[in-house]
Structures are given as structure tokens and as C-alpha cells.
């Protein structure tokens, strides 16, 4: 019997979450798919069988969400450079069509020089601000083998751009981090953070899978600031059941923060959006 090339739309999670009952059906389905897609789905099945997966490796798609000024874009750039240094192929997708001031697409040249691919608006002109996204984003989510990091706009309105890709993300699987800066007036309590996170999820249709502390005072950030932010992130984790996956801090603070935390992943941060004249 010839296997049809296209079955009805079935998601990657159908095959992965249904393991092992649907493995044979899934493999028959994959037998007629393009080779890169077959490899990706089969790899996903094998990954799900392993326990305690490193969140940085479990899913190739990482989504960064959070409030304005929480440090999402700096984290996205630094995480991309970290993964690239680890030998991964990396694509950064700028989905922020809300904030016109601090955008990954303004750092395209620097990232490209490091071997990191960037995608954002469909119009390749830096003086143009329009809510139009590159159609190549869909292809990257579906077919790129390397790491993809999505930097999402900073409020529920900004998350609407993420909603555009929800069907694809449900098919591919993803890790969605919600970053927390306890110094933002709108996210100073667990209740505020949870409300903002729920509003973002309701708009995007995607689900947060982990929390990340990005508490900072820009160039004046101290280790005490980072540790203080961790207390808020831990409280949110306790109330939601979401895991606290790590903390970011300026590179020169890493040793001090590491000495005051218990084996928590620490992402060293270099500031790419603070020129010398800025605070």
C-alpha cells in the first residue's frame, strides 16, 4: 500500500506525546516527508523518552516574553551568542513590532558577523517601522535544524505577533520563558507578574513553560539586585508551579551571583543596547 504524502494535519506533539502507541503510525507518516522534517520529528520522539532534559536543549525553539524593560532583547541576543559559542546554528527572530527603540533588527550586522541569522520585518529598511513580518519566519520555524530564539514584544499587544505563529509552534514544540524584572513598577509582586503573564498567554495562545530572572538596574546593577529579583521569581514559581530556569546578570557579577545561588543556571549578560552616553 502506498503511503499518502500528506496525511490530515497532525502535529508534532501528536506523535511525540502519544509515544509509544503511535510510533509506528508516526514513522509511516514520516517515511514520505522531506528528509529534514523526518529527522526532526524522529529526534523529538527520542528526546521525549529522556528525563530531566536541559531546557536549553529540549526544544530548538525558545520564546522570550515579559514586560517592557525587563531585559528580553538583551537576553535574546546574549542567549543567541551563548548558544552559538556552544556550536549551535542559531536564528534570532525579532517579533517586537511594538517598541521601536530597542530592536534586535538594529543589531543585524553584528549578529550576522558572528554567524547568527536574523529575521524580522519583511521590509529590509531600518528607517521603516511597519507591523509586517518576514514570511521566511514560517519556513525557519518548520525546517531550520538549529536553535531559533523569538524575541516577543513587551506587553499583551506585542504578543499578538506571536499568536500569528501559534499553529506552527504547536506543531514544532517550543520552550517559552517569561522573564521577570522585579524593578519594574508593574511587576513588583507575584500577583502582578502572574496577571501580566496570564494576559500575555491569553493573547498569544501559547503557554509559558519556565521563568527567568532578569532583574536589573541597567549599568548600575549589583549582585544584591539580582538576588533580590530571584526572591520574586521564586515566589512566582511557588504559586504557579512553573520552574525557575535561571537568572541573567552582568558578566562581571557572575562569580558573586554563582556563590549566592544553588546551582542555578546563570546567563552572563553584555549590554548591547546601552551606548556610552546612556545610563
Q: Compute CA 206 distance to the chain's CA centroid, rounded to the nearest angstrom.
A: 12
Query: Could you tell me which residue, 100 or 7, shows the higher pLDDT?
Result: 100
| More confident of the two residues 158 and 169 | 169
Q: Are residues 83 and 178 in the same domain?
A: yes
Q: What percentage of residues in the chain have a pLDDT greater than 70? A: 69
Residue 178 forms part of a structural domain: yes
Record the pTM.
0.76
Q: Name the DSSP letter for residue 4.
A: P
Does residue 276 lie in a domain region?
Answer: no
Domain-embedded: residue 149: yes
Residues 212, 85 share a domain: yes
For residue 260, the surrounding DSSP H or E stretch is none
Q: Is the pLDDT of residue 153 over 90?
A: no
- Residue range of the domain that includes 85: 55-269
End-to-end CA distance of the chain: 68
Neighbours of 139 (CB within 10 A): 12
Greater pLDDT, 127 or 70: 70
- CATH of residue 76: 3.40.50.300
CB atoms under 10 Å from CB of 172, counted, come to 21
Is residue 136 domain-shared with residue 262, that is, in the same domain? yes
Pairing of β 147-152 and β 210-213:
unpaired
Residues 40 and 94 in one domain: no
Would you place residue 74 in the very low, low, confident or very high pLDDT band (cuts 50, 70, 90)? confident
Query: Do 82 and 198 fall within a single domain?
Result: yes
In a domain, 161, yes or no: yes
Q: Are residues 88 and 217 both part of a single domain? A: yes
Residues 71 and 45 in one domain: no
Instruction: Report yes or no: 64 and 152 within 8 Å, Cβ to Cβ.
Output: yes
Do 179 and 70 share a domain, yes or no? Answer: yes
Q: Judge whether 3 lies within some domain.
A: no
pLDDT band at 112 (very low <50, low <70, confident <90, very high): confident
Decide if 69 is inside a domain.
yes
Q: Residue 2's pLDDT is what?
A: 38
**Do 98 and 114 sit in the same domain of this protein?**
yes
Is position 88 within any domain? yes
Q: How many domains does one find in the chain?
A: 2
Q: Identify the pLDDT of residue 131.
A: 64
Domain shared by 27 and 79, yes or no: no
Q: Where are the beta strands (DSSP E) in 130-258?
A: 147-152, 175-180, 210-213, 244-250
pLDDT in tens, 11-51: 333 333 333 333 343 344 344 444 454 455 445 444 433 43
Helix (H, G, I), strand (E, B) or coil at 117: strand
**In-domain check, residue 199:** yes
Amino acid at each position: 500500500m502506498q503511503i499518502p504524502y500528506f496525511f490530515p494535519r497532525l502535529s508534532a506533539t501528536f506523535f511525540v506525546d502519544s509515544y509509544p502507541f503511535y510510533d509506528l503510525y508516526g514513522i509511516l507518516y514520516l517515511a514520505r516527508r522531506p528528509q529534514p522534517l523526518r529527522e526532526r520529528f524522529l529526534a523529538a520522539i527520542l528526546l521525549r523518552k529522556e528525563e530531566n532534559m536541559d531546557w536549553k536543549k529540549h526544544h530548538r525553539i525558545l520564546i522570550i516574553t515579559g514586560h517592557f524593560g525587563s531585559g528580553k532583547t538583551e537576553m535574546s541576543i546574549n542567549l543567541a551568542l551563548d548558544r552559538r559559542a556552544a556550536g549551535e546554528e542559531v536564528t534570532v527572530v525579532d517579533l517586537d513590532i511594538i517598541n521601536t527603540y530597542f530592536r534586535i533588527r538594529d543589531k543585524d550586522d553584528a549578529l550576522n558577523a558572528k554567524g547568527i541569522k536574523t529575521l524580522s520585518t519583511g521590509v529590509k529598511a531600518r528607517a521603516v517601522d511597519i507591523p509586517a513580518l518576514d514570511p521566511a519566519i514560517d519556513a525557519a520555524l518548520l525546517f531550520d535544524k538549529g536553535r531559533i530564539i523569538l524575541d516577543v514584544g513587551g506587553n499583551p499587544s506585542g504578543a499578538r505577533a506571536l499568536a500569528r505563529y501559534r499553529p506552527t509552534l504547536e506543531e514544532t514544540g517550543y520552550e517559552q520563558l517569561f522573564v521577570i524584572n522585579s524593578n519594574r513598577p508593574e511587576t513588583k509582586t507575584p500577583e502582578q507578574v502572574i496577571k501580566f503573564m496570564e494576559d500575555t498567554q491569553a493573547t498569544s495562545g501559547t503557554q509559558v513553560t519556565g521563568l527567568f530572572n532578569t532583574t536589573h538596574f541597567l549599568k548600575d546593577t549589583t549582585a544584591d539586585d539580582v538576588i533580590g529579583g530571584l526572591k520574586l521569581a521564586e515566589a512566582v514559581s511557588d504559586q504557579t508551579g512553573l520552574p525557575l530556569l535561571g537568572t541573567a546578570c552582568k558578566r562581571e557579577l557572575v562569580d558573586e551571583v554563582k556563590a549566592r545561588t544553588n546551582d542555578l543556571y546563570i546567563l552572563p549578560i553584555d549590554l548591547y543596547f546601552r551606548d556610552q552616553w546612556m545610563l
